[in-house]
Amino acid sequence: MNKISKYIIAFASVVIPSVAVGVTVNVCTNNNLHNKQNVSRFSLSQAYDLAKPGDLIYEGQGGFATFVGHIVTVTGTEIIDGVKNIDIIEATHIDVHYSTLTESDFCNKHSYLLQTDLTDQQRDDVVYFNEQQLGKPYSYDYLKYSTDISTKSWYCSELGWASYFYAGLNLWNGDDLLVNKGVTNYSLTELESLIAPAPSAIVNSSNLNIVYSYNNLSL
For 171-205, what is each residue's pLDDT tens digit? Answer: 987 765 667 776 765 555 555 666 788 888 898 89
Q: Catalogue the long-range contacts made by 90-95 (C-beta closer than 8 Å, 24 or more residues apart).
A: 90/156, 90/159, 91/133, 91/136, 91/138, 91/139, 91/154, 91/155, 91/156, 91/158, 91/159, 92/138, 92/156, 93/64, 93/138, 94/138, 95/135, 95/136, 95/137, 95/138
Which amino acid is located at 120 in the chain? D
Residues 6+ apart with CB under 8 A from 176: 193
pLDDT of residue 215: 73
pTM: 0.79
The pLDDT value recorded for residue 16 is 34
Determine which of 42-46, 49-53, 106-110, 201-205 has the lowest per-residue pLDDT on average. Answer: 42-46
Q: What is the pLDDT of residues 58-110, one digit of tens each?
A: 998 877 777 788 999 999 999 988 888 999 999 999 999 999 998 788 888 88
> pLDDT above 70 covers what percent of the chain?
69
CA distances to 5, 86, 150, 151, 168 from 203, in Å: 24, 18, 25, 23, 18
Most confident of 5-9, 157-161, 171-175, 179-183: 157-161
Q: How far apart are CA 69 and CA 36, in angstroms?
A: 24
Give the pLDDT confidence score for residue 200 in this predicted structure: 85
Which stretches does DSSP call E strand in 92-151? 96-102, 111-115
What is the per-residue pLDDT for 72?
Answer: 97
Look over the chain and give the mean of its residue pLDDT values, rounded to a whole number.
78
